[in-house]
Amino acid sequence: MKYYKKTFKFIWLLLYSSLIFFSCNKETIENTEDTSVLEGKGLTVIDYKRSKNSSSKTDSNKSSFNGTRIAVFSDELAYENYTEALENQVQNLENAFLAQWGHLNDDDLNAKEDELNFDSEKPLSDFENQIGLQSLRKQYLMAEEAWLNNDVLDSSTDPDSKPIYDFEDNEMAVMNTLAEVQIGTTIIKKLNLEEITLISEAQGILKSTTGKNLLTVPYEDKYLVIQNSDYDALIDFNNGDVSVINNPNVTVTNNPPATSCKYAKEVRKDFLIDSKKFFRAVIKVPRPSLGWNGKVKAKIVSYKKGFFGWRKWRTKIDVGARGDVFNTSCDNSPTYVNKWKGVKRKKKRIYIFRDKSFGSHKVENGGMTGLYRHNNVIKELNLTW
């Protein structure tokens, strides 16, 4: 049975990898709410608006977020298939480039990339353009470019450290600039620091009538989860109405308890190679949202300083991890051991998980260590709290 399940998933990925850029019907239709919809296989893109019977005090005509575009996936499988297919296309393009030019030394390889104007993320931009989405990824790239153009990099202004950009490129490609995506009838919104602060301050003013546990202490891995496609609540929140957290359709993810086994924790560190080179190491066990797999993630990104600021630099890097990964109940943990491979890339990541059917994968305090290699420099980063 497991064989057939794996075969089915593989066929799904092959279909999405080959059809993902052709699956959307470009014909625009109008639904009953006068919302344009781009139809696709498991994916639609809509301009969400207030309902006709909205009781909001905000004038819908003056709402700056009325008509915001969002990607809507039919279910979690469709979301996973699209994002995995996008990642596969990026990796295939990257592998093809290295197969032809990977024999060059670092300087010549990066120069060749500039000469050819090679962009391994072209499948992502093609996808964004096809579905007509101003994505979170595009917004991040502009912020990152502005940050790297500085002579001295200030970590406090690094967009990579902002909560709403805490996703991989293929994930940000399907999210709008407000860090929103919809799966089924559930809207998921990653909160930024300002929104987290507003909700936290509201706790001293608002009283919950729903009996829910509300946010108590700001933490970077926070989401607003809205059920039943309640766009009125989403638009109100985006316009600064924090009282929607008392709406029965709205939930704010809470902090994980301070136990020895948990998720929603990240450690990152920049390691200096010399005055013009450094690499960033990240080890994270993210919070699952809507049942998404909270797989432990280790990542390395290489940087080099040039004449006009900094840039991501292609060189031989690798990443791995060692430690124990637990299920939701924090039991039956196997030990994960990484095998070095090494490849000339700008960034690389791995995911560590026991079973994709788990809603989350937790680790013990100090029980997972990221391993990072930048040419001959090897570093470790322990996930502790």
Same domain, 94 and 233: yes
What string of H, E and C letters represents the secondary structure of 173-230?
CCCECCCEEEECCEEEEECCHHHHHHHHHHCCCCCCCCCCCCCCCCCCCCEEEECCCC
Distance CA 119, CA 125 (A): 10
Q: Write the CATH number for 266.
A: 2.60.40
Same domain, 243 and 262: no
Same domain, 343 and 324: yes
Same domain, 90 and 208: yes
Domain-embedded: residue 16: no
Domain boundary among 195, 222, 255: 255
Same domain, 302 and 218: no
Domain-embedded: residue 18: no
Same domain, 91 and 228: yes
Domain-embedded: residue 340: yes
What is the domain extent for residue 374?
257-385
Distance CA 230, CA 343 (A): 45
Domain boundary among 196, 228, 255: 255
Quick check: 153 and 147 in contact, CB under 8 A?
yes
Domain-embedded: residue 63: yes
Domain-embedded: residue 331: yes
Residue 63 is encoded by which pair of tokens? 């709402």
Task: Region of 382 please: left (phi>0), alpha (psi -120 to 50) or beta.
Answer: beta
Same domain, 215 and 268: no
Domain-embedded: residue 5: no
Domains in the chain, number: 2
What string of H, E and C letters represents the secondary structure of the chain?
CHHHHHHHHHHHHHHHHHHCCCCCEEEEEECCCCCEEEECCCEEEEEECCCCCCCCCCCHHHCCCCCEEEEEECCHHHHHHHHHHHHHHHHHHHHHHHHHHCCCCHHHHHHHHHHHCCCCCHHHHHHHHHHCCCEHHHHHHHHHHHHHCCCCCCHHHCHHHCHHHCCCHHHHCCCECCCEEEECCEEEEECCHHHHHHHHHHCCCCCCCCCCCCCCCCCCCCEEEECCCCHHHHHHHHCCCHHHHHCCCEEECCCCCCCCEECCEEEEEEEEEECCEEEEEEEEECCCCCCCCECEEEEEEEEEEECCEEEECCEEEEEEEEEECECCCCCCCCEEECCCCCEEECEEEEEECCCCCCCECEEECCCEEEEEEECCEEEEEECCC
Q: How far apart, in Å, are the Cα atoms of 71 and each of 14, 63, 250, 308, 341?
A: 22, 20, 19, 36, 36
pLDDT at residue number 23: 42
Same domain, 245 and 110: yes
Domain boundary among 229, 255, 281: 255
Domain-embedded: residue 182: yes
Same domain, 236 and 271: no
Domain-embedded: residue 8: no
Output phi, psi for 226, to 5 deg: -120, 125
pLDDT at residue number 274: 94
Same domain, 60 and 170: yes
- Please choose, from the candidates 293, 301, 242, 304, the residue with its C-alpha nearest in 3D space to the C-alpha of residue 263: 293
Distance CA 230, CA 247 (A): 10
Same domain, 106 and 221: yes
Residue 268 is encoded by which pair of tokens? 């990152």
Ordered per-residue pLDDT tens for the chain, 385 residues: 444 444 434 444 444 444 444 344 333 323 323 323 344 589 999 999 998 877 665 554 455 788 899 999 999 889 988 999 999 999 999 999 999 999 999 999 999 999 999 999 999 999 999 999 999 999 999 999 999 999 999 888 899 888 889 888 999 999 999 999 999 999 999 998 889 888 878 766 444 444 444 444 334 578 899 999 999 999 999 999 999 999 999 998 765 655 677 777 888 999 999 999 999 999 988 776 644 556 788 999 999 999 889 999 999 999 998 888 887 777 767 777 776 777 899 999 888 766 666 556 788 888 889 999 999 999 999 998 7
pLDDT at residue number 35: 29
Same domain, 235 and 362: no
Q: Residue 45 class from Cβ within 10 Å (0-12 exposed, 13-18 middle, 19+ buried)?
A: buried
